[in-house]
Amino acid sequence: MKKSLSNLHFITLLLISISFIVLTSCAKENSNTPPFEEDTIAKDLQIKADSLYNLNQLKSAFHSYLDSNLRFKKQKDSPNITYNNLKIASIYLIIGDPNSAQEVVTNELRYISEGPNTYRFYVYSILSICYSELEDYEASIAYNNLSLELASSDYEVKMIENNNALNYIKLQQYEKAILSLQAILDSKAFEGHSGEEARVLNNLGQAKFLLNNNEGLEELKRALALRLPTNLPDDLFWSYVNLSEYYQAHDKNIGKQYAQKAFDIARDFENKNQKLIALEYLIKNEDYNPYNKYTNIDYINLSKQITTENQQAKNQYAKVRYDFDKHSRENAKLRYDLQQTEITVTKQYNVILLIFLFIIISASIFGLIYKQLKRRHKKEKLEQVYITETTIAKKIHDELANDVFNVLTLSQNFKLDTEKTKNHLINDLELIYKKARNISLQHSSISTGTKFKEHLTNLFNEYNTAACRIIITGLDKFDFDQLDKTQKITLYRVIQELLVNMKKHSMATLVVFKFEDLKNKITLFYSDNGIGIIQKEIISKNGLSNMENRIKNINGTITFDNENKLGVKYFIQLPKSYD
């Protein structure tokens, strides 16, 4: 534990870069899909957890990573689950629980074989730290060697080799450690990186004096000289400890001074683990005296305190660890289910091909049928155009031809310079104009947009004369946006036919239209004070069959008042939503 935890400086920097890669790649993957609420919450929790982790609020970060995992699980987002689990493993290492860290990271090994190299590099690196903390230095070296295969720069390679050299020192393979560390220095890989160069020098000095206690001082002092300007407490602490260890065999007085400096740093920054290490060297560099400032009792008491606090910290995580193990099992099951789904999809591939072929054949058949129907529809449409043209021609002949002939006769037989003749001619021409305009309006296109109400009002105005007054109620408040295009056209044509029939047959002087907006339908009430019509003649003589058919085609209803002896009354209902 004494040395390996310092390696977390490199791992922490790597985690930050991974965080950026993961969040960026996820954003790209989801750029073409609608955002999911669960996915957004999961990423927010992940970002929150990273912030708490950087602020050393580890317990809160731990909870946030677990909450984030629960939501990523619903989205089947394995990369982000792996990222969160690796951060959880690093928290276990920091609180002194390498066994749990190893368990978490080992579970991720099966999911990273095909994943990005960055993940695999980090997994192998953190497993190396776990085994080093568990004093299984051979396993730590093995995982460092796996990391070497994935290193993307000479700088990373030398960092890993430096970590391996620490393991060689722990295994008392000092000569191997010295050769490795000297090669790192000769490579100049850490030029411009004084912190890393100092670590290599410090490790080299330690390996040399452990092999031969007369060597290594030069490297230890060079490491301290590089670290003093940066004034990083952790780096200075280890330099002072190793110098104290060296002078323990040469000059205990100097050794005690360096141990005191290490102790002061640990005390100032409230690092009890480092304080215990410094206290050990203070005692070792001091001849036994019951009145010494520091005694074995101090060491034992501090050691007990640290052990108690570490156990308390582990106990605080006990419930969370239980939940986390449960979540891990759920994640494993989820991944298994995903694999089974992929197998099922593969088996169904041939079935899908057959279905696709069937769809193509069916589409071809339906296409031929559609062309036949389209051809028939085109023929029917041409026939309808012919009928419409015939109707218009008949109306022109019936309603305009005689009037035009009378005007021609008037202009030929009477002098046009008299006032009476002029007025007669003007009145006849105005009548012809109105009839021609009415024919045009009856067959013109209908605006079904925002001007529909205005278009409808103009229709009423055409028939509102001094001889026949038209009263309209409810039109201004009525929302025609509740009707679709077909319903608007139908409503317009029905009102038009009512007005035409009123003018031709009823001899009414007063007509009432009443619009009402009910819950699921609209109603139109029509009433006039004309001579009325016989029920049997409604269909045959008055041409109202078209009106009735139009209303039925849009699922509406029309009701005639059979009991009314004076005038005509109709009650029309249309649905608001027409299918």
Mind listing the pLDDT tens digit for each residue in 171-180?
999 999 999 9
Q: pLDDT at residue 431 above 80?
A: no
How far apart CA 221 and CA 363 sit, in angstroms, is 84
Q: pLDDT at residue 540 above 60?
A: no
The reported pLDDT for the residue numbered 358 is 77
The reported pLDDT for the residue numbered 48 is 94
How far apart CA 404 and CA 398 sit, in angstroms, is 11
Q: Tokens in use for 496?
A: 């038009």
Q: Which residues contact 198 (CB under 8 A, 6 or more apart)?
A: 222, 223, 224, 226, 227, 235, 239
How far apart CA 310 and CA 90 sit, in angstroms, is 16
The reported pLDDT for the residue numbered 191 is 85
- Single-letter amino acid, residue 243: L
Looking at residues 33-44, what average pLDDT do you find? 74
What is the value of pTM for the model shown?
A: 0.52
Q: Is the dihedral of CA 442, 445, 449, 454 positive or negative?
A: negative
Burial class for 493, CB neighbours closer than 10 Å (0-12, 13-18, 19+): middle
The reported pLDDT for the residue numbered 201 is 95
Q: What are the strands of the beta sheet with 521-528, ordered from one edge?
A: 469-473, 510-517, 521-528, 568-575, 557-560
Q: Which of 25, 124, 100, 42 has its CA nearest to residue 76?
A: 42
pLDDT tens-digit series, residues 449-478:
888 888 889 889 888 888 899 999 988 888
Q: pLDDT at residue 288 above 60?
A: no
- Mean pLDDT score of the chain: 79
Residue found by looking up tokens 């004309």 in the block:
530
CATH fold for domain 448-575:
Heat Shock Protein 90 (3.30.565)
Higher-pLDDT residue of 196, 412: 196
How far apart CA 172 and CA 144 sit, in angstroms, is 18
Looking at residues 283-308, what average pLDDT do you find? 61
Q: pLDDT at residue 556 above 70?
A: yes
Q: Where are the alpha helices (DSSP H) in 401-484?
A: 402-413, 419-443, 452-463
How far apart CA 470 and CA 522 sit, in angstroms, is 20
Question: Are the CB atoms for 546 and 500 separated by under 8 Å?
Answer: no
Q: How far apart are the first and last CA of the chain?
A: 75
Per-residue pLDDT band at 405 (split at 50, 70, 90): low
Per-residue pLDDT band at 202 (split at 50, 70, 90): very high
Looking at residues 503-517, what average pLDDT do you find? 89
Whole-number Cα distances in Å, 79 to 108, 112, 335 = 10, 9, 12
Question: Are the CB atoms for 70 and 19 separated by under 8 Å?
Answer: no
> Where do the DSSP E strands lie in 108-173?
none
Residue found by looking up tokens 């449960």 in the block:
326
Per-residue pLDDT band at 31 (split at 50, 70, 90): very low
Q: Tokens in use for 214?
A: 């007369």
CATH of 1-136+317-338 given 1.10.3720.10, 2.30.110.10, 3.30.56.10, 1.25.40.10: 1.25.40.10
Higher-pLDDT residue of 200, 344: 200
Least confident of 119-123, 251-255, 338-342, 551-555: 338-342
Q: How many residues does the chain have?
A: 579
Question: Are the CB atoms for 435 and 403 separated by under 8 Å?
Answer: yes
Whole-number Cα distances in Å, 281 to 166, 289, 299, 378 = 20, 15, 10, 103
Question: Percent of the chain scored above 70 by pLDDT?
Answer: 72
Looking at residues 526-549, what average pLDDT do you find? 68
How far apart CA 27 and CA 15 sit, in angstroms, is 18
Least confident of 63-67, 115-119, 423-427, 570-574: 115-119
Pairing of strands 469-473, 510-517: parallel
* CA 498 centroid distance within chain: 56
Cβ atoms < 10 Å from Cβ of 322: 10
Question: Percent of the chain scored above 90 by pLDDT?
Answer: 26
pLDDT tens-digit series, residues 351-402:
787 787 778 887 778 777 877 877 776 665 555 555 655 666 666 666 666 6
Higher-pLDDT residue of 41, 316: 41
- CATH class of the domain defined by 153-230: mainly alpha
Eight-class DSSP state of 289: -
